[in-house]
Amino acid sequence: MNDPIVARSGECRVIAIDGPAAAGKGTLARRLAATLGLPYLDTGLLYRATGRRVLDAGGDPADPFTATEAARALTQTDLGRTDLRGPVADAAAAQVAAIPGVRAALLDFQRSFGPTGAVLDGRDIGTVVFPNAAVKLFVTASLPARAQRRWLELTAKGTPASLDEVTDDMRARDAMDAARTAAPLLQAPDATLIDTTDMGPDEAFSVALAKVREMLA
Ligand code: DC
C-alpha cells in the first residue's frame, strides 16, 4: 500500500523519529510505516543486539574495542533475538551506544535504508544518520508519563518492578543518552516536536500523520 504522497517525494523519503525511551516513538513509527507502505527500522535494536553480543562473549559493554568489534560483526539474525529487552539489555545498550566506534560501525546499516525510503526511530536519526530526512519528528513525554507507561508494560508482562525503580532507571538512561559526547539525544532544529504526555497512541498517530502529509505535500 504505497502512499502517493510518499512516492512523489523521490530521494528524500526518510521519516526520522527521535526522542527518549517510552515516549511512544516505536508505536508511532510502526504505524506510520504500515500506513505509508515504507520499511521500518527500530535502531535501538542495533545497540541492544551489540550489547548482547558483548555480554554473550563475557565482555564489558563499556569497553570500546570489544563493543566496536561486536557492532561490526552484527548480523540480521542478532536483531531477531528475543532477549533484547529488559534491564540487563537496557543497560548494555546504553553503554555501547556511548562509544563512537560502535555508532560509526552501525551507520552504514542504517543508511542503507535511505534510497528506498523508510521510517527509522532512535536518538540521532534526524541529527546524524539522516540529517537531510524529508520529515523529522521529535517525540517526547514527561518523565512520569514515560515511566508509568514502561511500568505498565513490565507489569503486563509479569515482570516485577516498582514505579520508583522504573522512574530512576529511566532518569539514569535519559541522562546517559543526553550527556554522551557521541551523538547525544538532541532535537534537530528542523524537527517537529510532538509531546505525547497527554495523548493516547491514536491521537499521537493522527498528529504525526498530518505533519508527514504536510511536509511531503
Ligand atoms: O530506543 P531503545 O530504548 O531501544 O534504545 C536502546 C539504547 O540505544 C538507548 O540507550 C539509546 C540507544 N540508542 C541510540 O543511542 N541511538 C539510536 N539511534 C537508538 C538507540
Ligand 1 centre from 145 Cα, in Å? Answer: 19
The reply to whether 129 and 198 lie within a common domain is yes
| 50 within a domain of the structure (yes/no) | yes
Q: Which atom from ligand 1 is nearest to the alpha carbon of 110?
A: 18
Lowest mean pLDDT among 70-74, 105-109, 111-115, 209-213: 111-115
Give the cell for residue 202.
Answer: 491514536
pLDDT score, position 1: 41
Q: How much is the pTM?
A: 0.91
Same domain, residue pair 102 and 200? no
Distance 98 CA to ligand 1 centre (A): 10
Q: Measured in angstroms, how far is the CA atom of residue 58 from the centroid of ligand 1?
A: 22
Q: Is residue 163 part of a domain?
A: yes
Residue 217 lies in a domain: no
**CATH number, domain containing residue 180:** 3.40.50.300
Flag whether pLDDT at 6 surpasses 80. Answer: no
Nearest to 70, CA basis, from 48, 42, 87, 90: 48
The alpha carbons of the chain give a radius of gyration, in whole angstroms, of 17
Q: How far is CA 153 from CA 28, 79, 111, in A?
A: 16, 21, 31
Q: What's the pLDDT score for residue 57?
A: 96
Band of pLDDT at residue 115, cut at 50, 70 and 90: confident
State the distance from the centre of ligand 1 to the C-alpha of 47, rounded, in angstroms: 6
Based on the fold, state whether residues 79 and 20 are members of the same structural domain: no
Q: How far is the CA of 173 from the centre of ligand 1 (A)?
A: 9
Query: Within this chain, do residues 138 and 203 fall inside the same structural domain, yes or no?
Result: yes
Same domain, 157 and 94: no
H-helix or E-strand spanning residue 211: helix 201-216
Q: List pocket residues of ligand 1, CB cut-off 6 Å.
A: 21, 43-44, 47-48, 93-94, 97, 122-125, 173, 177
CA dist 78 and 52 (Å) reads 9
Cell of 136: 523529522
Domain with 103 in it: 43-113
pLDDT of 93 > 60? The answer is: yes
Q: Are residues 95 and 169 in the same domain?
A: no
Atom 3 of ligand 1, nearest CA residue = 21
Task: Using a pLDDT cut of 70, give the percent of the chain over it.
Answer: 94
Contact predicate 147/167, CB 8 Å: yes
Ligand 1 atom with the smallest distance to the CA of 98 is 15
Q: For residue 55, count other CB atoms closer than 10 A to its CB.
A: 17
Going by pLDDT thresholds of 50, 70 and 90, the confidence category of residue 11 is: very low
Instruction: State the chain's mean pLDDT as an integer.
Output: 91
Rounded to an integer, the average pLDDT of 154-175 is 90
Average pLDDT over residues 36-58: 96
Residues 34 and 124 in one domain: yes
From 94, 113, 132, the end of a domain falls on: 113
Decide which of 12 and 132 is more confident: 132
Specify if 180 maps to a domain: yes
CA 195 to chain centre: 16
Asked whether the predicted pLDDT for residue 203 surpasses 50, the reply is yes
Q: Are residues 66 and 100 in the same domain?
A: yes
Q: Compute the distance from residue 123 Cα to the ligand 1 centre, in Å.
A: 6
Please tell me whether residues 95 and 18 are part of one structural domain: no
Number of domains in the chain: 2
What would the grid cell of residue 16 be? Answer: 526520522
Does residue 83 sit in the same domain as residue 156? no
Q: How confident is the model at residue 40 (pLDDT cuts 50, 70, 90)?
A: very high
Which residue's C-alpha comes closest to atom 20 of ligand 1? 44
* 86 shares a domain with 18: no
Last residue of a domain, one of 96, 113, 130: 113
Q: How many of the other CB atoms lie within 10 Å of CB of 193?
A: 10
Last residue of a domain, one of 87, 113, 139: 113
> Quick one: 196 and 135 in the same domain?
yes
- CB atoms under 10 Å from CB of 12, counted, come to 15
Stated as kind and residue range, the H or E segment containing 120 is strand 118-122
